[in-house]
Chains A and B, each alone.
Chain A
Amino acid sequence: MVKQNKFTVSHAPFWHDGDSIKAMNINIMAALLPATLFGIVQFGMPALGVICLSIASAMAWEALFSFISKRPIIIHDYNAAVIGMVFGMMLPATIPWWVVIIGTFVSVIVGQQIFGGIGSNPFNPAVIGIAITSLSWKSLFDFDSALVNYQFDFTALDPLGALKHQGPQIVDMFSLSSLLMGGQVGAIGSIFGLGIILGGIYLIIRGYIRWEISVAYVAGIILTAWIFNITDPSKYASPMFHLFTGYTLLGAFFLATETSSSPVNLIPMLIYGAMGGFMTILIRNIGVYPDGTIYAILLINLINPLIDKIRPKAFGKCKRSKQCVK
């Protein structure tokens, strides 16, 4: 008789490619780091404080809610940390601490947990948080007054705010390269365009975000802004100005690509991204808000379930009706 070992019995497949939600989230946070570090260098300790508090409170809210709702505490997958980090990056460095705490509450609990937790949120949680806090305490999100005590060696004006109030003649005050390299007034993580682009490209190469969405979003921005710009250059700013200011790049690479609120099929992804870019520019140029990224993202999140129904025919489903043999 052979001594009988106990073997592991389970179902196929017996292999896995080794990927996990945790790995995905760590990569997203790593990709966010260049832009965040630049913001911390630019705005100093207050910015570091905001980012740390945002990540910590987001994780704490998730743990607390999981505990209350008797769900497994999944803090170790960094899902809440990513939400907190993205939320923190969209705040001005001088935001009061209690706005951060309330904002992460709204993001994590209202934006995700009450819908059923990870994977069930219809909207990007961080965007929900920023939308609600920025509407509630509008003055705190005015980047010009928030950063009034800083001394900058570049034009110390919020580009989109200035564009809204003074028209496109102010565009000449900002050089594109300076905008791209972080020479602008704005949120902690949104000013360093190059860093965001590099982070986004890293995630695209690693396959953690879907390039179709980002590319379509950027294309939507450029195309829509360009159409506005050629119709009346005296009223509307150039496409590149729109691309490198406000939350645009953050939206293209990190907000619109949030997994559970974005589509997965090719054509829907392109529509979704392009719609996002289109709506952003529409709100900026015609609407009352200086930056429309947040609302554009929420709008495309809303149409996601509908457009994601456009999908290729499944295997064996006839392509033309006459091929159908029943």
Chain B
Amino acid sequence: MIKRSFIGLTEPRLRCDLVEPGPKEPEAIPIPPRIILLLNEHLDSTKELLIKKGDTVKKGERIFLYKDSNQYVSAPASGTIKLIAPFTGDFGSLATYLVVETNSKQDIDNSFAERASTPDIEIANSYLRGIAGEPPLKLLAESLSGAKSGAININKIVISGIDDDILCTTRQYVLTRFRDELPKAIELLGQLTGIKDISIAMPEALATLSAFNGMNIVKVSSDYVSSLSPMLMDKYLGISFIPGKTCEELGVCFISVEAALALLKAYTEKMPVYEKIITIIDKNGKKSRVCATIGTPIHRIFSQLGVETAEKDRIIIGGPLRGVATYTLYHPVTPDMDTVIVQDSSQIPMVSDYPCINCGKCVRICPANLPVNVLVRYLEATLYQDASDSCDLLSCVECGLCSYVCSASIPIFQYIRLGKYELMKIESEDVEMEAHNG
């Protein structure tokens, strides 16, 4: 944990870690006896399930919950479904998790292979959504087909070789390790989407590598906040950020470098890719990289690497400033999981219920120039609309630095996320009301 320096005249500058020179090959984690899959659709007892316990699935087979589902999860290994249960995520989002007992002999579902001869975004969207890196295929397909015309119109793709938190290096590793395959991946993305404007964002320090010559490179400073997508878009792509709109709504689609390479591999090998590269950081800060099948419970990785966890430790998925904590070692490897950090219980800073004392540190560090000291007062009083109107709540880029420096240890970042979520809920209710009345 980076602490405040003795001299506090200027705000602390956090820098993103660079991938270490000459990184070791990731350690392969064998397919575990049970894998856990998360399906982004909630269990609805009024509808008839398409799957049941005891069903067998093949590797690559897509699992739908209901007949009219448009969400699916594809099985990274063949086996038998042992459990179907509801799962509650952040802000009460409902999903379903499936436990699949894998069998030693891998049966392979060939439906993608039959359709993989020419790259087509619809086919990719129907088969490859859950591959390593989680490419935003649904978004791209919708944008291209104009299904919701005018809603999203992507005209720029940025392959992201930068990690969006300070300790994470997975994407940089993938970028440097597989840099020779990048031109082909870019070509494939072009064929899939028809979008010509494809660039690669990478840390300045890596951009000097000769392999990247001739590519459309966006050199990003290693200052922590520059790597966040809205900042990156505004600062390096010359597209002004508009509060309340996502980068995708402004026409820029970010796709992780791992996802781009997984797409390439899926088309060359005619098989979706389910091996995800993850950086594991143990309590002492030692980094190791593994290659695990999606759905592997993280305790498998920990036991193979000898990473120890104890009561009251914290397991962080993602980075120290923007990640999420999980309560269980059975949390599966998900397609977008880049980093797992174990934090010792003695290292966990406490939050407090102190009021803001107006010390101004958050205002100084805020990259989006928010009046955080006033904002937090509105948010504490649950005045979300006022927070948005007079304190620019929607300009927040969610870097987490305000909570990091807060003298009073107020969970400002969480207040902000909650505020945005509640605001979104209010707005969608308004839209529904209007539709209902009009």
Check: B314 CB closer than 8 A to any chain A CB.
yes
> Are A314 and B328 touching (Cβ within 8 A)?
no
Considering only residues 161-217 of chain A, those with a C-beta below 8 Å from chain B are: 204-208, 210-211
- The bracket for how many chain A residues form the interface is 35 or more
A-facing mask of B290-314, CB < 8 A → 1, else 0? 0000000001000100000111111
In the assembled complex, the CB of B408 is this many whole angstroms from the nearest CB of chain A, namely 6
Contacts of B353 in A (CB 8 A): 72
Docked pose: A171 CA to B196 CA in angstroms: 78
In the assembled complex, the CB of A264 is this many whole angstroms from the nearest CB of chain B, namely 3
Considering only residues 306-326 of chain A, those with a C-beta below 8 Å from chain B are: 311-318, 323, 325
Most buried by B among A18, A20, A117, A265: A20
Docked pose: A231 CA to B299 CA in angstroms: 80
Check: B369 CB closer than 8 A to any chain A CB.
yes
Most buried by A among B4, B299, B310: B4
> Are B358 and A259 touching (Cβ within 8 A)?
yes
Most buried by B among A7, A265, A314: A7
Check: A11 CB closer than 8 A to any chain B CB.
yes
Contacts of B397 in A (CB 8 A): 315
In the assembled complex, the CB of A153 is this many whole angstroms from the nearest CB of chain B, namely 39
Contacts of A314 in B (CB 8 A): 243, 368-370, 392, 395
Contacts of B309 in A (CB 8 A): 5, 7
> Are B413 and A4 touching (Cβ within 8 A)?
no
> Are B4 and A19 touching (Cβ within 8 A)?
yes
A-B contact count (CB 8 A): 193
Stretch at the interface among B255-263, B344-352, B426-434: B344-352
> Are B321 and A14 touching (Cβ within 8 A)?
yes
> Are B369 and A313 touching (Cβ within 8 A)?
yes
> Are A12 and B357 touching (Cβ within 8 A)?
no
Contacts of A21 in B (CB 8 A): 354, 357, 407-408
Contact partner of A9 (CB less than 8 A), chosen from B6, B327, B364, is B327
Contact partner of A17 (CB less than 8 A), chosen from B3, B7, B299, B341, is B3
Considering only residues 1-30 of chain A, those with a C-beta below 8 Å from chain B are: 2, 4-21, 23-24
Docked pose: A10 CA to B313 CA in angstroms: 11
> Are A264 and B360 touching (Cβ within 8 A)?
yes
In the assembled complex, the CB of B390 is this many whole angstroms from the nearest CB of chain A, namely 9
A-facing mask of B399-410, CB < 8 A → 1, else 0? 011011111110
By beta carbon, the residue of chain B nearest A318 is: B240
> Are A19 and B407 touching (Cβ within 8 A)?
yes
> Are A10 and B243 touching (Cβ within 8 A)?
no
Check: A136 CB closer than 8 A to any chain B CB.
no
Check: A96 CB closer than 8 A to any chain B CB.
no
Check: A260 CB closer than 8 A to any chain B CB.
yes
> Are B327 and A7 touching (Cβ within 8 A)?
yes
By beta carbon, the residue of chain A nearest B166 is: A15
- Majority SS of interface residues in chain B? loop
In the assembled complex, the CB of A116 is this many whole angstroms from the nearest CB of chain B, namely 7
Given A13-B404, A311-B371, A316-B242, verify A8-B392 contact (CB < 8 Å).
no
> Are A4 and B354 touching (Cβ within 8 A)?
no
Contact partner of A317 (CB less than 8 A), chosen from B8, B314, B395, B417, is B395
Contact partner of B303 (CB less than 8 A), chosen from A2, A18, A116, A208, is A2
Check: A262 CB closer than 8 A to any chain B CB.
yes
Most buried by B among A19, A317, A318: A19
Check: A44 CB closer than 8 A to any chain B CB.
no
Check: A233 CB closer than 8 A to any chain B CB.
no
Contacts of B242 in A (CB 8 A): 316, 325
Contacts of A208 in B (CB 8 A): 8
Docked pose: A4 CA to B313 CA in angstroms: 12
Docked pose: A251 CA to B360 CA in angstroms: 19
> Are B408 and A13 touching (Cβ within 8 A)?
no
Check: A120 CB closer than 8 A to any chain B CB.
yes
Contact partner of B325 (CB less than 8 A), chosen from A9, A24, A262, is A9
By beta carbon, the residue of chain A nearest B167 is: A15
In the assembled complex, the CB of B262 is this many whole angstroms from the nearest CB of chain A, namely 26
Given A13-B320, A264-B373, A311-B371, verify A205-B1 contact (CB < 8 Å).
no
Check: A118 CB closer than 8 A to any chain B CB.
yes
> Are A259 and B325 touching (Cβ within 8 A)?
no
Check: B322 CB closer than 8 A to any chain A CB.
yes
Docked pose: A314 CA to B414 CA in angstroms: 20
> Are B234 and A315 touching (Cβ within 8 A)?
yes
Residues of chain B touching chain A, judged by Cβ–Cβ distance below 8 Å, are 1-4, 6-10, 12, 230-231, 234, 240-243, 299, 303, 309-316, 318, 320-329, 341, 343, 345, 348-349, 351, 353-361, 363-364, 367-371, 373, 392, 395, 397, 400-401, 403-409, 411, 413-414, 417
Sorted nearest first, the 10 A-B pairs with minimum C-beta distance are A207-B8, A264-B360, A315-B368, A16-B349, A314-B392, A13-B400, A316-B241, A314-B395, A119-B355, A17-B4
| Chain A to chain B contacts (Cβ below 8 Å), 5 pairs | A12-B321, A13-B413, A21-B408, A117-B355, A314-B368
Residues of chain A touching chain B, judged by Cβ–Cβ distance below 8 Å, are 2, 4-21, 23-24, 72, 74, 116-120, 204-208, 210-211, 259-262, 264-265, 311-318, 323, 325
**12 new A-B contacts at CB < 8 Å, known A118-B355, A206-B7, A311-B369:** A5-B313, A7-B309, A7-B315, A13-B320, A13-B404, A16-B403, A260-B357, A261-B358, A265-B371, A315-B368, A315-B392, A316-B241
